[in-house]
Amino acid sequence: MFRVLAASLPYLLQGAVMTLWLSAAAVGIGTLLGIAVGVIGTTVSRIARTIVTGYIFVLRGIPVVVVMFLGYYAFPALGLRVNAYVAVGLAQIVYVSAFVAEITRSAIGSVPANQIAAARSLGMRRPAILMQVILPQATRIAIPPLLNNALTAIKQTSYASVVGVWELTYAAREVVERTLAAFQIFLGVMVIYFLICYPLSLAAKWSEARLSFSQ
Amino acid sequence: MDHVAQTAFFLAAQFPKLLSGFLITLGLSAAAIPLALGLGLLLLAPRMVKNRLIAGLTVAYIDLMRNTPLLIQIYLIYFGLPVLGLYPSEFICGAAGIALQHGAFLVETYRAGIESVSQRQWEAARAIGMGRMKAFRVVILPQAMIRILGPLGNQLIILVKDTSLVSAIGVAELTMTGKIIIERSAASVEVFVAVALFYLVLTSVLGAALRIIESRLAERA
Amino acid sequence: MMPHALSTPMIEVRDLRKSYGPLEVLKGVSFSVERGEVVVALGPSGSGKSTMLRCINHLEEYQHGEIRIEGTSAGYTTGASGRKPHSEAVNARLREQVGLVFQSFNLFPHRTAVENVMMGLIHVRGMPRRVARQMALARLDKVGLVEKADEYPAKLSGGQQQRVAIARALAMQPKVMLFDEVTSALDPELVGEVLRVIRQLAGEGMTMIIVTHEIHFARDVADRILFMDGGVIVEQGAPQQILSTPVANRLRLFLRRYQGDYMGS
């Protein structure tokens, strides 16, 4: 009954590898970039804050597919010939970073003002306050939404197929269009995505339960 | 300057096409939103009953939707139903796929809102003699609705953005229109900048409307 | 016996005025605190007492007035061209000299008690960890909590947390200690242990400004009491005089409200 799926499995698993690469890049680099942008968005400089707010607003207001298309067509428009994976990968990194930046900004803002007052009262300066008081507490607050965001990013790598990037979803559609075994293949692919995502989903739920009790 | 003027002119000429794509996007949203809201409500009771089996099955469905991409679900419907002899239009496949996924997310949103109403409110209502159903309807639900509104609105904005995926099965909504314009002309990035602007306007308006509704409700509370 | 005119007061506040937007919270507060003096500020909520404390260590900015610590102008430099605010670096150095203990303790929840006390030593004074830990343990010992050194604040009672907060402020060896309603958030049975520490500090000659509701304690420990209401100092003087024979009506009302049985004792 699942003969077609079994036969196509090696091909699909290769697609899954590409999915994992794209996910790792989007989540890894996107999160780091987003944290940096988010921290910059909380500085004293009004210009910096405005730019970051604009960055977050624009990227969160458009669908990820459109951001991917923009990435895909931006490079040729600038005269650069870039691998489709790189173009779309970079686009997704930027997209993820906007959401992470918002999470970071929000987490930093959630650290009670009293904590900062206490640190200032000891004579601490802003860099030390940020590193020793704000970021450790903000990190705890940020972990559950960051994990959920990572989960979303992994699923969004499948949208790269719409732009023409070959990964698991693209491979699945190819096989189905060839063999017409829609149920087998797509259900099988759902299982593969589930196996990739579920551990992260559990981690996110666990972190929500554990870390929502502040010390 | 000449190139910029050319581009602007070109985009202006494409406006009608983009607009019709935008209207299809709105149509998809208008179709999928009630379906998703309804599905969420339908699944709310099974999710919250004490019966382990029923609640467990509902949770399993929600987890499945949470851990698999929307695109695969849309493909499954679009490519799978013909095998069963059903040939719904691409539009319906897209709307259904979106509703199935977002309905699952909405169940959790509803649940969180209800559970966030303090246990003490229940006790107070029961203490003055209200039955469970009445207590729910008159005391809990109004308070839950205010808390649900924010997350609900955000979820719906995500839903509207997700309509862009339906371009994958050929529905001529805004993103697909962008693709078509690029394929049929020498244009490139500018087209999708215009597409992005349309979406940005849409999500901004929705976001602003949401904030206004929230503040109105907060006043009344 | 040193002639009074030659010793500079530890703290001088002159005509302090502060507004939050349209709301004027401090309407011209002036007083001074000598070295080793314990001044208690009493008054109803909203009288501006906490705001005044926060102006002294420059956690808050103010629109008018001058504050001097040991003769040096704090927060702003007034010159021919008007008033220039000090840089954050200068303000930070000021705050090393002026310790502030908060009503809500504000311990760092992600650090143990001793690490809280070490925080300023390591990150402001640049002390190596080992030395800082020794000093911190000594401070915790002083407030009677050395056995709780490696506990996190969540495991400590309110009174214990507040004592750690005092140790943390003392670790910086400030010239002045400011206490902002430090027992108001505590359960009654925990208040005593904190007041004991403050009393001990007073006995050791620390210059202090204490904002409190605890009138008995004020009478015990204060060299001078300021009664504030509506953003001004209404009456000030020695505790005996202020509390037994209050002159201003507002002060009478305040005392009656907070200490019904105090009048006439």
Domain at B167, CATH number: 1.10.3720.10
Residue A166 near residue A18 (C-beta atoms within 8 A) = yes
pLDDT tens digits, one per residue of A140-193: 999 999 999 999 999 999 999 999 999 999 999 999 989 888 888 999 999 999
Residue B130 vs residue C139, higher pLDDT:
C139
Size of interface A-C (CB pairs under 8 A): 67
Residue C233 near residue C254 (C-beta atoms within 8 A) = no
Residue B215 pLDDT grade (very low, low, confident, very high; cuts 50, 70, 90): confident
Residue A121 near residue C50 (C-beta atoms within 8 A) = no
CB < 8 Å to B164, chain A: 63, 65-66
Nearest CA in chain C to A123: C92
Rounded mean pLDDT of A37-54?
A: 92
C241 close contact with A: CB closer than 8 A: no
CB < 8 Å to A140, chain C: 110
- The rounded percent of chain B whose pLDDT value lies above 70 is 99
Pairing mode, strands C38-42 and C224-229: parallel
- The rounded percent of chain C whose pLDDT value lies above 70 is 94
In chain B, how many domains are there? 1
Residue C27 pLDDT grade (very low, low, confident, very high; cuts 50, 70, 90): very high
Distance from CA of A214 to the nearest CA of C (A): 8
A103: tokens are: 């999470």
CB < 8 Å to A136, chain C: 110
* CB-closest option in A117, A133, A136 to C59: A117
Question: Which helix (H) or strand (E) is B205 found in, with range?
Answer: helix B189-220
Residue C155: half-sphere exposure toward Cβ, Cα within 13 Å? 11
Residue B218 vs residue A140, higher pLDDT:
A140
Residue C23 φ then ψ, to 5°: -95, 115
Interface contact flag, A118 C95, Cβ < 8 Å: no
C5 close contact with A: CB closer than 8 A: no
pLDDT tens digits, one per residue of B66-121: 999 999 999 999 999 988 888 999 999 999 999 999 999 999 999 988 888 877 88
Q: Which chains touch C (3 or more CB pairs under 8 A)?
A: A
Instruction: Tell me which residue range forms the domain holding B108.
Output: 2-220
Q: In whole angstroms, what is the distance from residue C203 CA to residue C196 CA?
A: 11
Cβ neighbours for A50, distance < 8 A, ≥ 6 positions apart: none
C145, C143, B181, C107: which is closest to B189 by C-alpha? B181
Spell out the alpha helix ranges (H) of B49-140: 52-67, 70-80, 90-115, 119-127, 132-135
Whether C6 shows a pLDDT value over 60: the answer reads no
Residue B36 near residue B18 (C-beta atoms within 8 A) = no
Return the residue matching tokens 């581009």: B7
pLDDT tens digits, one per residue of B7-57: 888 888 888 889 999 999 999 999 999 999 999 999 998 998 888 999 999
Rounded mean pLDDT of C161-180?
A: 94
